[in-house]
Structure 1
Amino acid sequence: MALIRLEPVRPVTSQTIRYMAFAFAAADLLIELDAEGRVSFAIGAANIFFDEDEKTLEGRRWRDLVAEEDAPLVEALVEALDVGGRYGPVMVRLRGRRPEINRRVLFNACRLPQQPDRIACALSQLTAGAFSSVKAPVASGPNGLLNKDSLGDRTAEIVAASKALDLRLALTFLELPGLTRLKGRLDDNSARSLMQRIGAALRAGSLDGQTAGQFADEQFGYLHEADKPTQAVAHAIQKLTKEADRDGQGIVPISRTMEMSAGELSPEGIVRAVKYSIDRMAEGGTEAAVDGGLAATFDALVNATMERIDAFGRMVKHDDFKIVYQPIVTLRDKSLHHFEVLSRFEAETSPYEAIRFAEETGLVEDFDIAVLMKVCGMLEARETDPRLTVAVNISGRSLGSDLFAGLVQRELTQHPKLAKRLALEITESAEIKDLTRLDAIVQRIRQKGFEVCLDDFGAGAASFQYLRALKVDWVKIDGLYVRRVLKDQRDKAMIESLVELCRKLGVRTVAEQIETVEEAAALRAIGVELGQGWLFGRPADLPAYKPPLELPTESSDRPNLRARRAGYRESWG
């Protein structure tokens, strides 16, 4: 029998454990926290993060090292870290000696069984890795969470980037039933603190601390690695809500996790599938999730889109929509100039979303011609006041179709008497590619006596290219600039320059979304001729207009009230 030599077992020292944790975390700087949350040990490149030696960190509280806005996130990590557990990486901002050296780092933390009262925190520099190239969107609220759209965009970008890596991602949705009632029982400070801590718990469970969001008052979600357990986040939120409402039992989150496997989807398909998933959750709760990952979700999106296409087509075919009227007035004397005709659908359908859907699915041409025919029929109806003058919207994408352009010209040719009563507004919601061809169509329309307006001017980067290439009668200034004309001198200067340019080109100007007397007065002073907005009237079923009494008028304008619509200005409505 061979003899076995037994070597003495070396005692495991605290220093050894520290280096084990350092190796486990694999980072640029290791910081060990004691039970009181103070730094008991630090080793590594502290100078690149804090501009000071690591020895100077010992004895300081972790809160003194983390930027104030990210302190709730780190606190949630520390509180939820079980023995043997690990969190991270998440993106955290550090607090340096000077604000200009504050840096974003990747933060990891673990609590080893050998030292259950200690937390090893590992800090790593951000590199040009898979996710550091994805620009983090700005959180929409004090709880550090993204809104629905921002989370959808960021999730889609990260999922698309992960296709080149061996990384499986998932999106977990949480409903917190009763959260609104709970907040209502708290004072403002307590409610705000609760939401900050819930936001921190969600961010702590997310992929990098930046991929968590709030969809509605009681609906949340976060992106994470698919293999990462989600119970910790749910338990942390339940604990937080129970502590906030000591008389209650807290809120038990309802969660649903959906794997974000991209499969063969293109980047555009990923974006659509991710946003469709989030929209379904926001509208129908966790039960609305689609099983089978993004590929199955995209199939569901295709099916839902086909159903909408069929429904939209039936609506157009059966003329199952209505038109409403919003007044457009002369700012100089508040007299009615004409009405814009707008389309309305069933109560739960947004007109903007319906038109965008029609553009994206190729149905906008059918819809635009249906609206034009409906308006022409209304204007020539016996019961319609012959003085009524309107403008109707036509999508730039529709005018890009030879068939549609021919239908428009045929319709206008059949109604020559409407030349002074009907104008066309070209919307800029869809990209117009061939401006030379479009201008030829516009000029044929104008030669028939119909005026043409370029809508939403300034909303797109190509606006001035359109104005240079298209000879039109009117330009409608986008409401974004109108809303800021009194607040931002840059936007005011842009409107002034636009008005002056249009004056030199012989093009008149309209401003939309005017809501206050002050905005109307400022735009009139700049030289804008016409105005539209709730100050003058909201869209209504009948073309009615009552001038706002508080809108100032210039006495010098009174002799000029003989405009082409003099017979029915203030008598309407």
Structure 2
Amino acid sequence: MTEAKQKRQAEIPAAESEALREQRDRFLAFAFAASDLLLEIGDDSLVRYALGATNQLIGGSPQDLIGTGWLELFAPEDRPVLVAKIGKLTSGKRCGPILVTIVPGRRLAKAADSKARKLSSRGIKVIFNACRIPGREEVVYCTITVANAALAKQARAAAARTESGLLERKAFESAAIETLETTKALGQDVELTFIEFIDAELFRDRVGVDRWQAFCADAGAVMRDGAIDNDAAGAITEDRFGIVHEAGAAVGTEIRRQLQDLAQAFDPAGGGLDVEQATIEAGDGELTSEEAAQALVYAINKVASLGASKLTFSDLSGSFQEQVSETQERIAAFKAVVAENKFDFAFQPIVDLESREISHFEALARFAKGESPYQTIVFAEEVGLIQDFDLASSRRAITYLSQQSAGSPVKLAVNLSGQSLQNDAFVDALMALGKENSGLAGRLMFEATESSRIHDLDRVSRVFQALKQMGFSMCLDDFGAGAASFQYLRALEVDYVKIDGTYTRRLLSSDRDSLLIRNLCELCRDLKIKTIAEMIELEDQVTELSSLGVHMGQGYLLGKPAPQPVFSRPGGSRSRR
């Protein structure tokens, strides 16, 4: 072979390689033309590759993202949607656009940059798109773009809607907030009207299902037509709605009249439907954008819980002031609850799925009649009081166990928020409490809840290790299949994990969830960690969970929360201790 021929053949692969690089660069350029961040996610749910405006979005370099769980980037409420979308994504297909919020979390918690800390507190609205390509099905390619009005509108076009064509509540909240910001920038005055159908169930029964559905479709059209744009109307509940519209000319009153006329036309008896309406000025006065958004969501929540006619303010400033006043009152009331121990426990058993013997009880907080435990705990976390409550709960559980007779079989699990576990004062007090009551170590365990709030895993790991050295068992609550959960498991030494109840609910109809639980159980078995499944309500669920390797369960089938621990014995007899 001549030297010239060898040279030409050597040049061919080089030319092909150059062409591939050129094609790659072209694709990257196209992607960046419409995106701020590119991610490559592996089948282990970890970020393999990142490129783009990471400093703007997460307060760090692209390299900081490599090897981390991709879901950690996003707000907890957005994660289930993203997991579902990615789970259904097949080769050659794409999903999106999806409007979500990036919450940088622990990566920004360590940042010295004040701008980064500010981003961490409020999050960033972004548009998420993803795809899988043939030949590389194990990888998901994602683009993330900071949302602007046009992109957000595009994402909402694909958002969940009711049968009436109205945006569902969460999407409506986002749309309404964005509309307020846009109209404020344009100097345009708008109002927010809330509509409520009174005794809608009676009307539905009277007109029949088909006519009711037709009425809802037409009513949705009336509300969208009255809104400032097609996306500024949404359903808050099944019979309560919100509309952002131009100010003046009694727009809200006209929408109400049209809906009443429409209902009368659909009613064979001619009685129609009573429609309540409340209109507030959306001008936010001296409120910041964040305060106006809070005031808007507060107003929507009020309508959802009380109805349109129960609003006591006429504008967003009034809504914000009422929210502030209500929050201050709730803070004072909650502090009194903690200081005076005005809460109780309801004891729900954790049961061995094979023997049906009770392992221990979870001590669930209960407050004054009518107060939601979940909402109360969430509020305490939001206002920074959860550590006070967690400490009071721990003391209450220790007092309860200390008062039990010698040889009592009662063992308790007490919940500790991830937020509390990162509070130095709380940790110091908890350690002192543990040392003073080390004799109860075999009968008291601690259950870490709200793990998504744990940003400093190393710090919390040291707390877990110290408690375990005293003899207390540790449990990780709400464990899922995402990469974030496995990172917690890798960093935190625990004795138990609680599998999120959503997996139990879908277990009998989802092969994918069965496989996820089986793999989780195998991992936990190798790590000598016992597994607990939540929300068990059916014997078929017990059978399936046992076959997958789950050790224990919790749920109404196995025992409801009760004022005192209730033991089930073989043969069905029950005794209280």
TM-score by length of 1: 0.70
- Would you say 1:381 and 2:398 are equivalent positions? no
Deviation sequence 1:473-522 (CA, Å, 0-9, x none) = 11111111121122222222221221122222222211111111111111
- Would you say 1:173 and 2:194 are equivalent positions? yes
Match of 1:159, SS? helix
- Would you say 1:208 and 2:229 are equivalent positions? yes
- 1:393 corresponds, among 415, 430, 438, to 415
Alignment of 1:380-529 (within 5 A): 380-383=402-405, 386-428=408-450, 431-458=453-480, 462-529=484-551
Q: Distance in 2 between matches of 1:504 and 1:469?
A: 16
Q: Distance in 2 between matches of 1:450 and 1:527?
A: 25
Match of 1:145, SS? coil
* Residue 137 (structure 1) shift: 6.4
Match of 1:171, SS? strand
Match of 1:462, SS? helix
Give the aligned CA root-mean-square deviation in angstroms.
2.7
Deviation sequence 1:51-99 (CA, Å, 0-9, x none) = xxxxxxxxxxxxxxxxxxxxxxxxxxxxxxxxxxxxxxxxxxxxxxxxx
* Residue 322 (structure 1) shift: 0.5
Segments of 5+ residues of structure 1 without an aligned counterpart are 1-126, 551-568
Q: Distance in 1 between matches of 2:344 and 2:443?
A: 20
- 2:208 corresponds, among 172, 176, 187, to 187
Q: Report if the CA contact (8 A) 2:149-2:178 is conserved.
A: no
- 1:235 corresponds, among 245, 257, 262, to 257
- Would you say 1:135 and 2:181 are equivalent positions? no
Taking a change above 3 Å as real, the CA distance of residues 523 and 311 of structure 1, as seen in their structure-2 partners, is same
Code of the aligned partner of 1:297: S
- Per the alignment, residue 135 of structure 2 pairs with none
Q: Distance in 1 between matches of 2:191 and 2:383?
A: 29
Deviation sequence 1:277-305 (CA, Å, 0-9, x none) = 01222333334335453233212111110
- Per the alignment, residue 295 of structure 1 pairs with 317
Q: Distance in 2 between matches of 1:385 and 1:190?
A: 65
Code of the aligned partner of 1:473: D
Taking a change above 3 Å as real, the CA distance of residues 280 and 493 of structure 1, as seen in their structure-2 partners, is same
Q: Distance in 1 between matches of 2:570 and 2:213?
A: 41
Taking a change above 3 Å as real, the CA distance of residues 131 and 372 of structure 1, as seen in their structure-2 partners, is closer
Code of the aligned partner of 1:398: S
- Would you say 1:197 and 2:218 are equivalent positions? yes
- Would you say 1:222 and 2:250 are equivalent positions? no
The structure number with the bigger radius of gyration is 1
Q: Distance in 2 between matches of 1:326 and 1:526?
A: 23
Taking a change above 3 Å as real, the CA distance of residues 290 and 516 of structure 1, as seen in their structure-2 partners, is same
Greater alpha carbon shift after TM alignment, 510-519 vs 241-250: 241-250
Code of the aligned partner of 2:430: V
Greater alpha carbon shift after TM alignment, 295-304 vs 348-357: 295-304
In percent, how many aligned pairs have the same letter? Answer: 38
Deviation sequence 1:181-224 (CA, Å, 0-9, x none) = 22222222222222222222222222332332333454322122
Q: Distance in 1 between matches of 2:566 and 2:274?
A: 53
Q: Distance in 1 between matches of 2:457 and 2:419?
A: 11
Taking a change above 3 Å as real, the CA distance of residues 443 and 131 of structure 1, as seen in their structure-2 partners, is closer
Q: Report if the CA contact (8 A) 2:532-2:554 is conserved.
A: yes
Q: Report if the CA contact (8 A) 1:156-1:271 is conserved.
A: yes
- Would you say 1:371 and 2:409 are equivalent positions? no
Taking a change above 3 Å as real, the CA distance of residues 133 and 339 of structure 1, as seen in their structure-2 partners, is same
Match of 2:332, SS? helix
- Per the alignment, residue 97 of structure 2 pairs with none
Greater alpha carbon shift after TM alignment, 158-167 vs 339-348: 158-167
- 1:353 corresponds, among 363, 368, 375, to 375
Q: Report if the CA contact (8 A) 1:508-1:529 is conserved.
A: yes
Q: Report if the CA contact (8 A) 1:336-1:570 is conserved.
A: no
- 1:260 corresponds, among 257, 279, 282, to 282
- Per the alignment, residue 555 of structure 1 pairs with none
Q: Distance in 1 between matches of 2:345 and 2:229?
A: 49
Q: Report if the CA contact (8 A) 1:130-1:161 is conserved.
A: no
Taking a change above 3 Å as real, the CA distance of residues 241 and 480 of structure 1, as seen in their structure-2 partners, is same
Code of the aligned partner of 2:220: G
Q: Report if the CA contact (8 A) 1:496-1:526 is conserved.
A: yes
Q: Distance in 1 between matches of 2:265 and 2:570?
A: 54
Taking a change above 3 Å as real, the CA distance of residues 406 and 519 of structure 1, as seen in their structure-2 partners, is same
Match of 1:346, SS? coil
Match of 1:453, SS? strand
- Would you say 1:271 and 2:293 are equivalent positions? yes
Code of the aligned partner of 1:142: E
Q: Report if the CA contact (8 A) 1:413-1:448 is conserved.
A: yes
Q: Distance in 2 between matches of 1:132 and 1:220?
A: 20
* Residue 528 (structure 1) shift: 1.1
* Residue 460 (structure 1) shift: 6.9
- Per the alignment, residue 112 of structure 2 pairs with none
* Residue 317 (structure 1) shift: 0.8
Code of the aligned partner of 2:246: E
- Per the alignment, residue 322 of structure 1 pairs with 344
* Residue 253 (structure 1) shift: 2.8
Q: Distance in 1 between matches of 2:406 and 2:278?
A: 56
Code of the aligned partner of 1:153: S
Q: Report if the CA contact (8 A) 2:179-2:232 is conserved.
A: no
Code of the aligned partner of 1:410: A
Match of 2:187, SS? coil
Between structures 1 and 2, the one with greater helix share: 2
Q: Distance in 1 between matches of 2:537 and 2:570?
A: 11
Q: Report if the CA contact (8 A) 2:156-2:231 is conserved.
A: no
Q: Distance in 2 between matches of 1:357 and 1:389?
A: 28
